[in-house]
Amino acid sequence: MLFTVSQRFFFDAAHTLKREIEAEGSRRIHGHTYHAEVSLSGPRDPVTGMVIDLGLLRQALGELRERLDHHMLDEVPDLGPPTLENLCLFIAQALPDLGPPLRRVRVWRDAVGDACTLELQP
């Protein structure tokens, strides 16, 4: 049996973005509240009953959140242009190996209804 466990976090950050549509507002510094969810999949350990201790996942996400929360995303090393796609990839690459493989990263902004999901193959 394969189980998938998930943990969410959020961060507030500012950025600019060069776009062809809605260009004027995007090029000015502006901010969003971003939400992110990471999912890991694996078998349940028969001794602990867990795929992963969620405390370990929360700790890793807390460290990652510190790199993004209340920062100018344009200046975050290794992020690239601060698109939802690049945020998904950045989160996936920034997480340490926690044991069970990372299967999914989702980043969204509730206020405007935008979302992106990175699906990682087994």
CATH number of the structural domain 3-119: 3.30.479.10
Bigger pLDDT: 97 or 122? 97
- For residue 23, the model assigns a pLDDT of 62
Q: Domain segments of the chain: what residues?
A: 3-119
What DSSP element (H or E) covers 120?
none
Question: What is the per-residue pLDDT across 10-25, written as a single tens digit (0 to 9) for each?
Answer: 999 999 988 776 666 6
Question: Would you call 82 exposed, middle or buried from its count of C-beta atoms within 10 A (0-12, 13-18, 19+)?
Answer: buried
